[in-house]
Amino acid sequence: MPRIIGTPKVRFNLFNWNEEETYIMVYFVFRPKRMLKFSTGRKISPNNWDRVKMRAVHSRTFPESSYINSRLELIERECLNVYHDTNRGRISVEEFKQRLFPLINEDDDFEEEQESKPLTFLQFVEEAYQERANDPAMKPGSLQVVHKLLVHLKNYSSEKRRKLEFSELNERFYSDFKAWLHKAPRNHSTNYVKKTWANLKYFIRKAENRHFHNDRSYREFQIKSTPTTKIVLSFEQLEHLAALNFTDAPHLDRARDLFLISAYSGARFSDYMKFKPEMIKSHQGETILEMVAQKTNQLVFIPLLPVLDRVLSKYNYTAPKISNQKLNKSLKEVGKLAGLTQQILDVRYPGGVRVEKTVFTWELLTTHVGRRSFATNFYQKFPHLIDSIMKVTGHTTEAMFRKYIVIDAKDSAVKFGRAVSE
């Protein structure tokens, strides 16, 4: 038997996969040559068991799954508690079993206690979130998206005094939930509500596939995105920004440098904040930066352009640490000092209502403007290299890329006019 390194894992499996219903077994190798093996006393059909997650599968036809899984998690926790309480399992197998028997025996009245309380949609999403939270491979950003959705659903359920049963999944609920997200004090924008709906729709579809409901009105329910004001800084503006002296304001110096890193690498904030010296590689005589994008898990290769190299070398090729929120605040101060005072029309949709406001360019300066400036500037200068630029930014289709960049309509008209007149 292999040597145990770290805390051993409690495993659950079925006693006989060929039976119509079979017992769920516990397997726990808590010391070398010491394996705890016993029946939970609970039977299940192999069709309702997920052998990878080692849990019962949630479905409308098997409402007992939630209860069974909660019992298995309790058994798992108690196994680990006994293991740690006995100096990492310095106990006999029989003594270990005796410590767990009270927990197993209290489950004898399962059929009487569990009168098929169906899972609600809210509980369905909550359990899906817990599954993701327990998955070490889950990206923090993806988990945060589900958490935000879950918080919205819980708040909506509490405020509206609705359990959010599967029977409530219909167009009336979708319209009401959309209006609730727009309503004060939330005042979420149209595009935010659209993204929230896309995440909600994923779980509604997943629940349908598991036969919790059969209402398909969600497929027809649409929320259209709205255009918003986007800005980019030109190469000339970036050069002016780079020339500013912030010796007496180190926080602004760092903010300006981080913006330049983004504008000459095309990387997202979550990625360039993780730049390290070991990511610098040499390929065919050129120096590149090799990294895995956090959002897409894609391997990305970024050319180490002169400006990028100069700024990164200032910090030993490791981006100075700062939160996104603080960086955005400092960038507005940097932009103001840099003279980004051109007035532009800022269009937003708080609460789903169009609001127009004239603002200075520096007021819209954020970390993401750097990445968008990279894509726009290099495309305008080297349009024939669009495929290479997309590989750096991580866009998978040209349509997505063209939607992302900012091409001024006036500049396009002038360019077209010159081309025709030649």
* pLDDT score recorded for residue 121: 92
Specify the pTM.
0.67
Contact 372/405 with Cβ under 8 angstroms? Answer: yes
Q: Where are the alpha helices (DSSP H) in 86-225?
A: 93-105, 110-113, 121-133, 140-160, 171-182, 190-209
Write out the H or E segment, with its range, that includes residue 420. helix 409-421
- pLDDT for 351-404, tens place per residue? 999 999 999 999 999 999 999 999 999 999 999 999 999 999 988 899 989 988
* pLDDT score recorded for residue 419: 64
For residue 251, pLDDT beyond 70: yes
Long-range contacts of 86-93 (CB under 8 A, 24+ apart): 88/31, 89/8, 89/30, 89/31, 89/34, 90/31, 92/34, 93/34, 93/35, 93/36
For residue 418, pLDDT beyond 70: no
* pLDDT score recorded for residue 353: 94
- pLDDT for 101-111, tens place per residue? 776 665 544 44
Structure tokens at 311: 């700024």
Contact 205/218 with Cβ under 8 angstroms? Answer: yes
For residue 212, pLDDT beyond 90: no
For residue 208, pLDDT beyond 70: yes
Average pLDDT over residues 30-52: 85
How far is it, in rounded angstroms, from Cα 149 to Cα 142? Answer: 11
Cβ partners under 8 Å of residue 82, min gap 6: 89, 91, 96, 99, 100
Contact 35/52 with Cβ under 8 angstroms? Answer: no
How far is it, in rounded angstroms, from Cα 46 to Cα 17? Answer: 6
Which range (111-125, 172-186, 206-220, 307-321) has the least confidence? 111-125
Domains of the chain and any CATH numbers: 11-113 (no CATH), 136-219 (no CATH), 235-421 (1.10.443.10)
Supply the Cα-derived Rg of the chain in whole angstroms: 28
Structure tokens at 100: 């767990």
- Band the pLDDT of 119: cuts 50, 70, 90: confident
Residue of 131, 116, 144, 298 lying closest to 206 (CA atoms) = 131
How far is it, in rounded angstroms, from Cα 119 to Cα 59? Answer: 9
How far is it, in rounded angstroms, from Cα 103 to Cα 358? Answer: 66
Mean model confidence pLDDT for the chain: 88
- Environment class of 236 (CB within 10 Å of its CB; exposed 0-12, middle 13-18, buried 19+): exposed
Phi, psi torsion values for 167, nearest 5 degrees: -70, -15
Cβ partners under 8 Å of residue 381, min gap 6: 235
Most confident of 13-27, 28-42, 94-108, 258-272: 258-272
- Of residues 141 and 371, more confidence is placed in 371
Structure tokens at 306: 């002169």
What percent of the chain is predicted at pLDDT more than 70?
Answer: 91
- Angle formed at CA 312 by CA 306 and CA 317, multiple of 5 degrees: 125
Alpha-carbon distances of 140 from 146, 294, 348, rounded to whole Å = 10, 9, 28
Most confident of 102-106, 251-255, 296-300: 251-255
Most confident of 29-33, 59-63, 94-98, 173-177: 173-177
* pLDDT score recorded for residue 416: 58
- Band the pLDDT of 192: cuts 50, 70, 90: very high
Structure tokens at 375: 């894509």
Write out the H or E segment, with its range, that includes residue 291. strand 286-292
DSSP helix, strand, coil percent of the chain (3-state; round to 5): 50, 15, 35
For residue 219, pLDDT beyond 60: yes
For residue 80, pLDDT beyond 60: yes
Average pLDDT over residues 86-91: 85
